[in-house]
Structure 1
Amino acid sequence: MADDEIDYNIVFPDAGTSERHWQDTKEPVVILLGWAGCKDKHLNKYSSIYNEQGCVTIRYTAPLKTVFISESFGYRELRSTALKLLEILYDYEVENSPIFFHIFSNGGFMLYRYIVELLHSDKQFRSLCVIGAVVDSAPGSGNVRGALRALRATLGPKISPFLRYFLLGLFAVTIFLLRVVLYPLTKYIHKNHYDAVRESPPTWPHFCLYSRADEVIRHRDIKVFVETLKQKGVPVDSVDFVSSAHVSHFRDFPHQYAVECRKFLVSCMKDLEPTEMKKRNRVHNQ
């Protein structure tokens, strides 16, 4: 459905499906954060993985201008979006359910970064019970070539060649200056998503899905991220799909992808004790 300020979709499972999978436990709420330029019909295919498992799903994709322009210039527009997304849980009275994230590419991870910060710092949101996060084709850092490929794919073929090359050139110069050359200084004003989550990661388990064939997000960036989480005591696992392109793992390996996601969700739920649900999953500043 649509809110007055942000567009999102929420789906509730039928009671029979939910009871069959989760019995006396509250069904998880899965928040899916789409990649830049992602259409809801594409994100819906991923949410069906969880709807068939008896989960509530919330789908949201941040606008292109927010991902490619606001974040590039250090404007924290996505923080207010993150706040509104978390408030949706209270609007639908599912704030006491287990919360699970499924994040796609840097576009989704940029928003996830602000959600994590709110869960660290906001008194209201610290009580939410987050049980885990799947991270698909993210996060990446300082890859100008990959960012240009993502923007080119997002712009599509309908835009005029002149405008396309103008936007790509402007974006390349901006990213290179602010996020590479001047980043040792600008990071004190606005740290990028990659460094922010690495330095102060959430405590819940993560499951990173990537491919060494990805030409947008370097697989070595994801490996460094995984190792950082491990060093900080965050439970984390990963799967390399080897041959699939950026955010195409589900398209190329639909059965394996769905099985891996559901298996991870179930493993996160297995350790959940109803009487200590909030206590065990509360985020602490590190």
Structure 2
Amino acid sequence: MAGSFNTPTKNIIGKKMADDGMDYNIVFPDALISERHWHGTKEPVVILLGWAGCKDKHLAKYSSIYNEQGCVTICYTAPLKTVFVSESFGYKELSITAHKLLEILYDYDVENSPIFFHVFSNGGFMLYRYMVELLQSHKQFSTLCVVGSVVDSAPGNGNVKGALRALTATLGTKINVMLRYALLVLFAVTVFLLRVVLYPLTKYIHKNHYDAFRDVPPTWPQLYLYSRSDQVIPYTDVELMIQVLKGKGIPVESFDFNTSSHVSHFCDFPEEYSGRCLAFLNNCMKDSEGTQAKRRHLIQN
């Protein structure tokens, strides 16, 4: 979306990076709304990373949860070819995208604000993985203050059947039937060979998102929202990740919606979903303020 427009409650700016074709939407709330919710402190910047095939209108519904609380939001969904092709063949195109997304914080002078992630499905989690790695290792980005993250319907681990279901849903019914089946077969064979059969060797070249995150996870608080009825991402994969993170001493919360399907928890339980996300964000902000206060006290002493 190019250009900008105003509403009575918030200033919305959409920008397209024409040189590389990367589209994202950024929303700055009205200053009065931010002041009412954050009382003079810097409002959080929430980065929402959509699932494969996610449309702007879908991600905007989640963005509004945070905009109404006076947060800045940045929404981005990686292209299908990057998620399903580049990652499957071990090309780290998403790492380049991750770098560009973090640079947006500096473009809009919000690099000193608290950062909060909201990640959807494996499509968003793959990109999130590279952003975490940059935050951990890159000299410039290591100074950013991430207060927490929400992970919705992710991560899944080497699940070829789930990946096929996700790609089938993404391709839809408009594409030619023969072409759709040909793409699915090619994708299944490629993923099975590279990510299952040959993975003991290929992991030294390109470790999958699940293993990379499990080995070197971020230490900020995390909330996992999932469902045992999810037919794309097995709930056992999510629960295993939660156990691993807790075992490393990382503060983790989780909630099983039980009956909702993949990335449909907000659709089925809007009040429960938004309430849990906002309560978690507020707790993360309070914990961050306490940590910063202790740090200032130590420096002064």
TM-score, scaled relative to structure 2: 0.91
1:61-100 equivalences under 5 Å are: 61-100=77-116
The CA distance in 1 between the partners of 2:60 and 2:207, in whole Å, is 31
In structure 2, relative to structure 1, the CA distance for the partners of 1:88 and 1:196 (3 Å cut) is same
CA gap of 1:189–1:259, structure 2 versus 1, over 3 A, is same
Which residue number in structure 2 is paired with residue 283 of structure 1? none
Which amino acid in the other structure matches residue 116 of structure 1?
A: V
Q: Which structure 2 residues correspond to residues 2-81 of structure 1 after superposition, within 5 A? A: 2-4=16-18, 5=20, 6-81=22-97
Tell me, in whole angstroms, the C-alpha distance in 2 between the residues paired with 1:12 and 1:110: 26
The one-letter code matched in structure 2 to 1:3 is: M
Tell me if 1:237 matches 2:253: yes
**Match of 2:164, as an amino acid?**
L
How large is the Cα RMSD of the aligned pairs?
Answer: 1.4
The equivalent of 1:284 in structure 2 is none
Indicate if the aligned counterparts of 1:129 and 1:278 stay in contact, CA closer than 8 A: no
- With 97-106 and 175-184 compared, the bigger mean Cα shift is at 175-184
Change (3 A) 1:59 1:278: farther
Q: Match of 1:266?
A: 282
Q: Which amino acid aligns with 1:143?
A: N
Structure with the larger strand share: 2
Partner of 1:212: 228
CA contact (8 A) 1:128 1:278 kept: no
Q: CA deviation at 1:233?
A: 1.2
Identity in percent? 73
**C-alpha distance after superposition, 1:146-166 (max 9, x if no partner):** 000000000011000000000
Unaligned runs of 5+ in 2: 1-13, 297-301
Task: Give the secondary-structure state (helix, strand or coil) at the position aligned to 1:16.
Answer: helix
SS in 1 for 2:29: coil
**Aligned: 1:111 with 2:115:** no
Q: Structure 1 122/170 Cα, relative in aligned 2: closer, same or farther at 3 Å?
A: same
Runs of 4+ in 1 over 2 A off after TM superposition: 272-280
Q: Structure 1 residue 273: deviation in Å?
A: 2.5
Q: CA distance change for structure 1 residues 119 and 227 in 2, over 3 Å: closer, same or farther?
A: same
Q: What residue ranges of structure 1 are gaps of 5+ in the alignment?
A: 281-286
SS in 1 for 2:17: coil
Give the CA deviation at 1:3.
Answer: 1.9
- Structure-2 separation of matches of 1:279 and 1:214: 42
Q: CA separation of 1:64/1:260 partners in 2, compared to 1, >3 Å: closer, same or farther? A: same
How far the C-alpha of 1:274 sits from its partner, in A, is 7.8
Q: What is the one-letter code of the residue matched to 1:30?
A: V
Residue number among 168, 171, 196 corresponding to 2:212 in the alignment: 196
CA drift of 1:276 comes to 2.5
* TM-score, structure 1 as length reference: 0.96
C-alpha distance in 1, partners of 2:157/2:30?
A: 41
**What letter corresponds to residue 123 of structure 2 in structure 1?**
G
CA distance in 2, matches of 1:10, 1:278: 32
Amino acid at match of 2:256: D
Q: Which deviations, in whole Å up to 9, do the C-alpha atoms of 1:166-211 show, x marking residues without a partner? A: 0000000001111011111110010000000100000100000000
